[in-house]
Amino acid sequence: MPGLDVSGVTKRFGEREVLRGLDLNLRPGQTYGLLGSNGAGKTTAMNIITGLLDQDEGTVTLEGAPLNADARAVVGVVPQEVALYHHLTCRENLRFFGSIYRLRGSALGRRVDAVIELCQLEEYADTPVSSLSGGWRHRVNIAVGMVHQPKVLLLDEPTTGQDIEARYRLWSVIRSLRDQDTAVLLSTHMMEEAEAVCDRVGILHRGRIEREGTLDELYATIPAAEMAEVETDDPSALERRAGELGLGLRRYGGKLTVLLPERSTLSDVVARLGRVPIRSLALRPVGLQHVFFDVVGSRV
C-alpha cells in the first residue's frame, strides 16, 4: 500500500553532514520508530518531512507524489515542545487548530469530539491548558496534531521528560491510531518506548538507517538466545574464558555481557565460567538495547 517514502535524503549544515542517504518507508496503520541517540539526526529528518527544512539530495513522497504544500495538509505534526495556547481550553485549542485545516461547522465539531474521546480528554475538555499537568498537555498536543484526521502523524520524541504514568497514557493513544489506519512516524531515543508501540524500528546512526525491521527481525540480528550480564573484578579473566568457550562477549551500556547460544540457568552459567570471579550475574532476553548498542559499536 502506498504511504510515506523517504529515499536517499541528505542534509548538510556547512561541512557537517547530518543525514547521509536516509531511507525509510511508512505504510497506513503502521507505527515506525526512528530510534537514535541525541544528535543522530532524528529531528532534522522530521523537519525535512514536514517542510521546515529542504534536503540537499533525495526525495520525500506521500502516496507516490512529492510532499508539497497540498500533500502536507494530510500530515499531522507533534513537536517535542508543547505548542498550544495555554489560555484556551483543550476544546478551544482543538477547534482553533482544526479551523486552520479548513474544518468548519458541524464537521469541525464532530472531529473535535472524536479526538477528545480518542485521547480520553473528556474530563479536561473545557479546562484551560494552563491548569493541566505536563503529561496532559502533551496528550492535548497529540490531539491537536491529529484533529484534521491526517494520513501520517509525525511525533518528535513526544514523551521526553514525562513520568511513567504520562508515558503509558500517551503510548495507549499512539497504539489506538492503528485502528484509525493512521501511519505514525515516532522519533525517540527510548528503547522501551520503541518496543511498546512500534511495528517496525529503524536505528539511525551517523545520518542513516543502519538496521531496520520488526522487533523480532532486529532481535534475530544478535547471535544469542539469551544474554548473561556479568559483574566481575577481573574482566580480562571473563574475556579469556568466553574465548575458550567460543562465546561472544559484548559491553552493552557499560555492562559486560556474554552471548549464550541457548537459554541457561544461573547455576549453569556460573559453572561454565569456572574460576572467573563473579560479583553479580543476571540473565536477560535479547532486547532492543542490545541491537542498538551493537549498531553504534559499544562492545568489548
| pLDDT of 3 | 86
**Residue-by-residue pLDDT tens, the chain, 300 positions:** 568 999 999 999 999 999 999 999 999 999 999 999 888 899 899 999 988 899 999 999 988 888 777 777 889 999 888 899 999 999 999 999 999 988 999 999 999 999 999 888 999 999 999 999 888 998 899 999 999 999 999 999 888 777 888 888 888 888 888 888 899 999 998 999 999 999 999 999 999 999 999 999 999 999 999 999 999 999 999 999 999 999 999 988 778 999 999 999 999 999 999 999 999 999 999 999 999 998 987 544
* CATH number attached to the domain at 226-296: 3.30.70
Confidence at residue 298, expressed as pLDDT on a 0 to 100 scale: 59
Residue for cell digits 573484578?
233
Neighbours of 144 (CB within 10 A): 25
Sequence ranges of the chain with CATH classification 3.40.50.300: 4-214
Looking up cell 551517523 gives 206
Average pLDDT, the chain: 91
Could you tell me the pTM of the whole model?
0.88
pLDDT at 238: 96
Distance in angstroms (rounded) separating the CA atoms of residues 183 and 123:
27
Residue 161 has what pLDDT?
A: 75
pLDDT at site 232? 95
pLDDT in tens, 158-168: 887 778 888 88
Determine the pLDDT at residue 299: 47
What CA–CA distance (Å, rounded) separates 157 from 142?
11
Give the C-alpha separation, 35 to 41, whole Å.
Answer: 10
Beta bridge partners of 13: 16
User: How many angstroms separate the CA atoms of 290 and 37, rounded?
Assistant: 14
Query: Check: CATH 3.40.50.300 for 4-214?
Result: yes
Place of cell 534536503: 55
Amino acid at the residue 274: G
pLDDT digits (tens, 9 = 90+) for 18-41: 999 999 999 999 999 999 988 889
Contact 75, 154 (CB under 8 A): yes
The pLDDT, as a whole number, for residue 81 is 86
